[in-house]
Copies of this chain bind each other. A is one copy, B any other.
Amino acid sequence: MANMNIKDIAKLSGVGIATVSRVINQTGYVSEKTRKKVLDVINEYNYIPNNSARNLKLTQSDNIALFVKYITNPFFGKMIDTIQQEVASRGYSLLIQNVDENSDELDFAISESMQRNLCGLIIMGGSYSAYTEAKFRQLGIPCVLLTVNSEGNVDPVLYSSVTINDELEGYRATKYLIEMGHRRIGFLYKDIENVVTPNILRYRGYIRALEENGIAVDERLIAPGLPSVSMGFRSGFQAMKSLMQKNPDMTAVFAFSDVLAIGAAKAVLASGKQIPGDISVIGFDGIEMAEFYNPTLDTVYQPATEMALSAVSLLHGMMRGEKTQHIVCDSVIMKRGSVKMMR
The residues of A with any CB-CB pair to B shorter than 8 Å are 2-3, 46, 48-56, 71-72, 74, 77-78, 80-81, 84-85, 88, 94-98, 100, 110-111, 114-117, 138, 140, 232-234, 237, 262-263, 265-266, 269, 288-289, 291-295
Contact = CB atoms under 8 A, between A and B. Distances in A.
A151 B97 CA distance: 31
Contact of A96 (B97, B114, B234, B292): B97
Contacts of A234: 288, 292
A87 to B, nearest CB: 10
A266 to B, nearest CB: 4
Nearest to A117: B52
Contacts of A2: 140
A2 B133 CA distance: 15
A116 B94 CA distance: 13
Stoichiometry (number of copies): 2
A114 B52 CA distance: 9
A96 B110 CA distance: 18
19 contacts: A3-B114, A48-B115, A51-B116, A52-B55, A52-B115, A52-B116, A56-B56, A72-B77, A72-B78, A72-B81, A80-B98, A84-B100, A85-B100, A96-B97, A233-B288, A265-B292, A266-B292, A266-B293, A294-B294
Given A72-B77, A80-B71, A233 B98 contact: no
A271 to B, nearest CB: 12
A40 to B, nearest CB: 18
A95 B237 CA distance: 33
Nearest to A57: B52
A156 to B, nearest CB: 21
Contact of A293 (B88, B95, B294): B294
Contacts of A266: 292-294
A323 B305 CA distance: 44
A22 B110 CA distance: 23
Contacts of A80: 71-72, 98
Given A71-B80, A263-B292, 13 more contacts: A46-B110, A48-B111, A49-B115, A51-B52, A52-B52, A71-B71, A71-B77, A72-B77, A84-B100, A233-B288, A233-B291, A265-B294, A266-B292
Contacts of A49: 115
A48 to B, nearest CB: 4
Nearest to A52: B55
B74 A98 contact: no
Q: In the complex, which of the residues A98, A234, A292 has the most CB atoms of chain B within 10 Å of its own CB atom?
A: A292
A47 to B, nearest CB: 9
B56 A52 contact: yes
A49 B56 CA distance: 12
